[in-house]
Amino acid sequence: MTADPSSRNLRRSLGIVAVGLLGILIILSVLPESVTGLDPVRQDTRLVLAPPGTENHLLGCDFLGRDNLARLIKGSGVSLAIGLSVGILSTLFGMLWGLFSGYAGGFSDLFLMRVLEVWYALPELLIATILMLVLGHGIVAVIVALSIGGWMGVARVVRAETLKIREQAYLEAARSIGVPPARLLSRHFLPNLVPVLLVLLLFRIPGGILGESTLSFLGLGLSPPASSWGTLVNEGWKALPLAPWVLAFPALMIVLALLAFQWTAERAGERWSR
């Protein structure tokens, strides 16, 4: 059945927009202060909760008179770094779990999948919240908590793909002639898993960004004066009745980042499934 041309064009357009958004977000995250001329920590009591456009402050100022645009750029780097780190770690751990479970089979597979199902039944945010109470605040604690709480979906997909690969005729032939398991995993399983792992990584990055934002909004993530989209939303929420723009800009950045990664992951998944 031939796909609708208008639907195909829409998906292609969304893919282009997603790549453009990701490019802008990445550029923002790596811009040094010397280039922007903006200081995210400089305070001016005259400009407390100043509206956008006041005295060259394009996005206004926060409740301490700090430039919102400067803090937003600073927070972009932190949020994207956390999202990428969570994506890589959770994908890596899930890959190892799913690959071993699917390749080993038998009792090992049964035991590992029952453990995964018990872990998977717990909400990811609940796991991360409990771990944050143990680990404390900070970037490393947020990354570890979100990574431990979000690897289960990756493991299930990787296990399913591993089971498909394991049943291929050429692998049966390789095992029959005594090819060691390490060679089979490195030469046949991992290369075939790379496309799906990249797609899973693209889905896990926005999960890390949203998880950090949620934890920071609840006061369990990063602590001031650290800036991230989550901490900026937390601060903006407190100033909402007087200065709604303080909340609006970081919230908009979170939405744009989630959409960009989601669209990119969907396009990559479509190409991988062909």
Q: What is the DSSP string of 202-218?
A: HHHHHHHHHHHHHHHHT
- What does the alpha-carbon distance between residue 251 and residue 236 come to, in Å, rounded to a whole number? 9
Nearest to 221 by CA among 140, 147, 150, 152: 140
pLDDT for position 111:
93
Q: Is the pLDDT of residue 204 over 60?
A: yes
For residues 217 and 237, the answer to whether their CB atoms sit within 8 Å is yes
Do the Cβ atoms of 139 and 227 come closer than 8 Å? Answer: no
Q: Topology of 82-273 in CATH?
A: MetI-like fold (1.10.3720)
Span 252-274, mean pLDDT?
78
pLDDT value of position 144 = 92
Q: What is the pLDDT at residue 1?
A: 45
Q: Kindly report the length of the chain.
A: 274
- How sure is the predictor about 235, in pLDDT bands with cuts at 50, 70 and 90? confident
d(CA 264, CA 12): 10
Residue owning tokens 């999948």: 113
Say how many C-beta atoms besides its own lie within 10 A of residue 27's C-beta: 11
Query: Minimum mean pLDDT among 35-49, 152-166, 201-215: which range?
Result: 35-49
pLDDT band at 47 (very low <50, low <70, confident <90, very high): confident
| Inter-CA distances, 51 with 44, 56, 63, 67, 215, Å | 14, 11, 11, 11, 27
pLDDT band (50, 70, 90) for residue 94: very high
Phi-psi region of 56 (alpha: psi -120 to 50; beta: other; left: phi over 0): left
Q: What is the pLDDT of residue 84?
A: 92
* Nearest Cα residue to 193 out of 158, 166, 228, 169: 158
Q: How far is C-alpha 245 from the chain's CA centre?
A: 25
pLDDT at residue 5 greater than cutoff 70:
no
Q: Looking at the predicted structure, is the pLDDT value of residue 74 above 70?
A: yes
- Per-residue pLDDT at 56: 81
> pLDDT tier at 171 (50, 70, 90 boundaries)?
confident
Listing DSSP states for 189-249 in one string gives: IHHHHHHHHHHHHHHHHHHHHHHHHHHHHTTSS--TT---HHHHHHHHHHTTTT-THHHHH
Provide CB contacts within 8 A for 168, sequence distance 6+: none
CB 53 within 8 A of CB 20: no
Domain ranges of the chain: 82-273
3-class SS of residue 54: strand
